[in-house]
Chain A
Amino acid sequence: MRQLIPFSIFIILIIFFAIGLTKDPRLIPSPLVGESLPVRQLDELRTAETTLLTSNLIGSSFILNVWASWCAACLEEHHLLMELATQDAIPIVGLNYKDTRQDALRWLDKNGDPYLQTWFDPAGEFGMELGVYGVPETFFVDMTGTIRHKHIGPLDRSNIAKAIDILNAEQNSSL
């Protein structure tokens, strides 16, 4: 029954589509996971001092949160970062991406500053190296400076907890 072929192919296609719907295309693994965080000279947002910003953080695991004052979704996850900062659970470093210093500082003053320090990347060059393609994006970096996990889009409680688990697991296994 040759005329059945188109229908059969179509059914297979529909099954694939149905499975595809259950997956999240934004969960693209970063090629940087498992790699070291690039070491670059960047300005600190508040102090405007240029420092080799990654080196002084190695020794503790931390969260690198890429944000911008123009990004609406960043506001969505902001209260969670504030909460995390008051708990003193893990240091959070901000990467202010494609922004102006003035706007960024005003945003932090208005919404609160959860960041231990904030690196300033007005041209988005460091962001480019990190493969950032949308803001917010969050990198979970272990104590050796290795990126262990990356989250695209606003964080929520469950995925923060999951990411910190991954971070701790990796840390324990490497110790």
Chain B
Amino acid sequence: MIPEIGHYALVLALSVAALQAAVPMIGARMGADNLIMLAKPLARAQFLLIATSFITLIIAFVLTDLTVSYVVANSNSALPLFYRISAVWGAHEGSLLLWVLILSAWTFALTLFDKPLPLKLNADIIGILGIISFGFLLFTLFTSNPFDRVIPPPQSGRDLNPLLQDFGLIVHPPMLYMGYVGFAVPFAFAVAGLLNNQINSAWAKWVRPWTLIAWAFLGLGIALGSWWAYYELGWGGWWFWDPVENASFMPWLLGTALIHSVVVTQKKAIFKHWTVLLAIVTFGLSLVGTFLVRSGVLTSVHAFATDPARGVFILMFLAIVIGGALLVFTFYKPDAPQEPHGSALSRESFLLTNSVLLSVATATVLLGTLYPLMIDALGLGKISVGAPYFNSVFIPLMAPLLILIGLGQRAFWTNDSFRRLSNAAKYPLLATIILALGTWGMIDDTSPIMALFGLVLALWVIFSTLAGQIRHYRSSKKLTSPYLGQSISHIGFAITVIGITLVSSYGLEKHLRMSEGETTTFGGYEFRFAGASAISGPNYNGTEAIFLVHSENKFEARLAPQKRNYHSGGQTMTEAGISPGFTRDIYIALGEKINDTDWSVRLNIKPFVRLIWLGAILMALGAITALGFGNATKTSHQSQKSYRINTTTRISE
């Protein structure tokens, strides 16, 4: 009975979505305020219905209701409670339900903060979100209904994929979806803005906080996924340029361009076309990502069960929503001609370069991800594009980006001079050179030049950001949230770069065969294989090996990597033994058993690998800080204005 309530609520949500998509927008065209006013209650009703549906699915999983085929396929009564709950979004059907739930939650949130929006613009925004929701609900109900029954019920459920039985997977998809789906809000703003010819500073000011929140969530979601892959897949890598990873990384990259471009549109009322296009394409890439993951056109370690009907549906949806938005964009003509840009050396021009670099980076990732598909479509054969391509095209784009962050954030709006800017940059540059030379002396000759290069660029960003923050604080006498947030995010980015540089230049790896009681020395540590014993968990059996790690007679860690055999799926999983640390991770993965006493073993030393995720957390934290609270934003505008007057720069506001 309970699953039927969920199913029914979902059907009702579909009809409410249809009304939400049609009524407010028609009302806006007819000038019928009573119809426009329906936007808010419809959006809220929809959220409640989808939430009801989601809760009933959770109940079905908690009770292990084996008459529901989605439960049978993904859960098992032996599964611990929190994995039974997270199993709700462990496969295709439930993930989609989570997708629409989050979309309706975003729409609900929008109805809480719609005060400053013009009535018609708001009606269109809610309407466009209704169209998206309608499409996805239709998709869920017709191709991927999580409430389908199986009669008679089987004896037991099949179990959740063991890879997904993990804390990282409880939180990773919801975070990622908050980001993915969150970009639907800037998208709806963009299309509604185009339809109402209201792309201006005020529009940018409204859309900016939503973009920042979505971007922060997406970043955290990606970082969580990377962390999960690191400890759960047992390969010791933290990024694989897998199509599914790329699918989440592309909207993040372009979203980064968007959060910068929208600031320019807000402050100077320029870059309008560009900002709107970024908002459309960023959400477009979220949908492309959904298509790539769900349709199975690309093979990936994340492969969900695939079904061609699903691919066709998402593709049609993508074509209608994004194609439609781009058509609206094609015919958009702003009322007033765009204000001429400032001089070649200004904050705007730096931000334009930022946009170009990030868009090119996104395009290279997109090309690498789709290349196998295109070659196949053209009948030229089957190929796969791997990490070497991405590393060789992506890194050269990040280097100029890092240099420009350091300069761009110090540049004045509208007009700056080369002399003033080099003056502002001289102390950070000096500090970078001193510290880099110091490091150069410390590291040995075998150090790759790339390591020094990466460190110099990251240090430059950090020092330059700190100098800018200090300067800003001195002149405004307080910490203002947009500036502080920007500083935190930039420093976070630099910290991630340092982590990537160190772990890829100085990481060590060794495969070897070890027998029980054997000791080996590697990377300055002594590893003793103390022994292996059988273990059993709630839904698996396996072997656990014990390793004792010492450095220079000091005890470092006791690591217990495992090999697990899950009962119901029969899958074998490697659980790496990791000793985490700020300066290094020691990482041991158990390979195959060779004979009664011998195992193949992989040892890894990962210097400063944690910085990668610490930096990602800081980036998201910065975005949240930049949202500002109440008066903070206003004060910052005033202070920035007075700051500019003090420094006698031309202002054209």
- Taking beta carbons and an 8 Å cutoff, which residues of A are in contact with B? 1, 3-4, 6-7, 10-11, 13-14, 16-21, 23, 25-29, 68-71, 98, 123-125
Contact = CB atoms under 8 A, between A and B. Distances in A.
Contacts of B291: 17
B543 to A, nearest CB: 13
A5 to B, nearest CB: 9
Interface stretch (B105-113, B369-377, B397-405, B521-529): B369-377
B329 A6 contact: yes
Interface string B377-396: 10000101000000000000
Given A10-B322, A123-B592, A124-B592, A20 B570 contact: no
Contact of B281 (A6, A25, A27): A6
B311 interface: yes
A26 B306 CA distance: 12
Nearest to B308: A21
B330 A20 contact: no
A20 B377 contact: yes
A20 B326 contact: no
A28 B372 CA distance: 11
B408 interface: no
Interface of B is mostly: helix
Contacts of A4: 330
Contacts of B273: 3
Nearest to B326: A7
Contacts of B373: 16-17, 20, 23
Interface stretch (B214-222, B293-301, B425-433, B627-635): B293-301
A3 B330 CA distance: 5
A1 B299 CA distance: 38
B315 A98 contact: no
Contact of A7 (B298, B318, B329, B571): B329
A125 B592 contact: yes
B242 to A, nearest CB: 13
A18 B570 CA distance: 36
B50 to A, nearest CB: 28
A25 B372 CA distance: 9
Contacts of B298: 25
A67 to B, nearest CB: 12
A7 B327 contact: yes
A21 B297 contact: yes
A23 B377 contact: yes
Given A14-B315, A27-B382, 9 more contacts: A7-B327, A7-B330, A14-B323, A16-B374, A17-B297, A18-B315, A20-B376, A21-B312, A68-B570
The 9 closest A-B pairs by CB, nearest first: A70-B570, A19-B377, A7-B326, A123-B592, A20-B297, A20-B373, A25-B299, A21-B311, A3-B330
Nearest to A19: B377
A134 to B, nearest CB: 10
Contacts of A21: 295, 297, 308, 311-312, 315
Interface string B353-375: 00000000000000000100110
B377 A16 contact: yes
13 contacts: A1-B330, A3-B332, A7-B323, A14-B319, A16-B374, A17-B297, A17-B373, A19-B377, A21-B297, A29-B382, A123-B592, A123-B593, A124-B592
Interface string B197-236: 0000000000000000000000000000000000000000
A3 B284 CA distance: 17
Interface string B330-341: 111000000000
Contacts of B295: 21
A139 B371 CA distance: 28
A14 B331 CA distance: 21
Contacts of B277: 6
Nearest to A70: B570
A76 B319 CA distance: 37
Contacts of B296: 25
A28 B375 CA distance: 13
B326 A10 contact: yes
A19 B311 CA distance: 11
Contacts of B31: none
Contacts of A70: 569-571
Nearest to A69: B570
A13 to B, nearest CB: 8
Nearest to B332: A3
B297 A11 contact: no
A123 B571 CA distance: 14
Contacts of B571: 70
A17 B323 CA distance: 14
Contacts of B572: 98
Given A3-B330, A26-B299, A11 B323 contact: yes
A25 B384 CA distance: 11
Contacts of A71: 570
A28 B382 contact: yes
B511 to A, nearest CB: 13
Nearest to B284: A10
Contacts of B323: 7, 10-11, 14
Contact of B315 (A17, A25, A69): A17
Contacts of A20: 297, 373-374, 376-377
A29 B288 CA distance: 27
Contacts of B592: 123-125
* Most chain A beta-carbon contacts within 10 A, residue among B315, B327, B330: B330
A70 B540 CA distance: 14
Contacts of A13: 288, 370
Nearest to A28: B382
Nearest to A11: B323
A160 B149 CA distance: 34
Nearest to B376: A23
